[in-house]
Structure 1
């Protein structure tokens, strides 16, 4: 069978791989499976949004037809307004493209930047789908290791830049580590990228769950921001629209003209129903979303507050925020083996750090990601208890 070697050398989807670990297992009635592997809402959109979506399906014929490649004009306008209010920016719809999820936003952005043989700097632990897309396109992912605080260092990044470097990618709040990058650090990476003629891609999928009130950075204060910065956003987490695939790119209009070519050949246009739902959410769900944020932040607080039993057994809480806790474990075995052991002995499905780091990386072998946004505070306590009870 003839296959593109770039694909055969790309890692399999990690979440799907982890799901196979639980196939065929009958978990004890008193110890049901706790799934903290996937960072996505498991509940549907709120009922009022679903009612609005049903009305759109029944009464809006245009919702069933092709639409503009870069997205509904009304949604682009509304998202620009939302960003301007949140960040104190002055964007227009011309700076916005709507995509079929934030993964596509990343893929489309990179398609305008990097050709086979080029390089992109990714802090580790990285978001595995970013690495997978680069691998499939024969673009080299250059790992930028982070320390115990999981904060990337601009000086270390500068040392990795070569004539083939095209972009630096930041994710904040971070997936998988949960940490939030300070505004000064983000600005330092913007300055580094600009000084070398690179793009700074900042993926803010989880920005609606940032612990800081107000703007998490000041990139849009710069009148020339769009010569360097590309922001990515997702409606999936904020409004539980994961199955409808709605994301966005914020960039210079000239770049979006190139993005349009990519999107037209892949999806032609984002799914109309999801776009209408996102527009309705921006206009009607501000208070509801604020409540969702409070709940996610409360779960992060519960993870931090309840971590002592694990700390006593040699675990470390390296990062905690948005949907994620990132842990260092005390076991001799690498995390990919430990994660499968957790399924068998603790009925906990979590992802190992090896899925977020280069092959053979010693840091990844000692780390685990726990996506806690889909378990309540009692579930967090039970997860900690089960991990703490695992014999060394």
Structure 2
């Protein structure tokens, strides 16, 4: 719709008013010229298979060197993957009124190629819940995503909600914006941001809600969020909830300068090889988490390995956690939870911890102990207590004892050998 604007009446002596008036007129004309330059294809559900109609509109927009495909209110049935190339934008009416329903098994709903494209404002649903073995049942598949935008999407019954095409060579993700995404009902990953390229860089992830109870009962999955081979990414308001998981709910692997502001894990039950709530892998990985909350989780010793902790790290990892709250766990009697552990030599790992808080009444939280599950061959990362950049105290292992060295140099044995 063209922009409507009527210039105000201005006194001849009002020089600055005249300047402002000319600017507003120019902005109006510029906006209308953009609207005329970017065509829009509008579709409504046919009641039958809409695959060809949607893909034809997308192809027409691509042939016009860019455009928008608008999917109106209602449910669009598709039976094959829809591919969005560069410069094409697909949007629904809203995530509560526009649904794209995939009737085909083990196939993506949308694939976005080559960047400068977007997908917004709709619900993406599989007619039948995708099993863990249906790895192609990914609702949104990204390939060579540069400046791609995903916003206001609700994804239901997928194997993986959003994924990079990690099995294809050199797939990367750079300068993308992934915001306001809800994934509910998945058997693989809520989001799998595993890059096949050497590194993906500079993307933003905001207000991501990953949960796994579409019918009210938590389902089994691999992991909520996995990010591999990324640098300089920023995440904020990330929630992983209501699921049984066979791997850590959150995994960061080979990541450089990742900042996470607000990471919330709730009502998660670990099984099988699950050995931590948050795992940071890869020599050189640097992660800063500002606000980590883990609440109402269920731990049974029959379900998980003996080596279990809130956080698992590899050697060479640098991890900052500013504000960690753990509370209201259901824990089998006699089982304790170390704060952090690694299953290899950790002599070059560095961990900053600040503002730890637990309100558990079951003595299930051991932030700083000599529990043997935390350590490996008496080699443990230096844990700094204080603000980065300041002169901190640190925890370290010496001859099997856990010791603390204050900023003044005073050494205290926290836990003897």
Query: Do they fold alike, i.e. is TM over 0.5?
Result: no
After TM superposition, the score normalised by the length of structure 1 is: 0.20
Quick check: which has more Rg, 1 or 2?
A: 2
After TM superposition, the score normalised by the length of structure 2 is: 0.20
| Structure in which a larger fraction of residues adopt helix | 1
Higher relative contact order (CA 8 A, sep 6+): 1
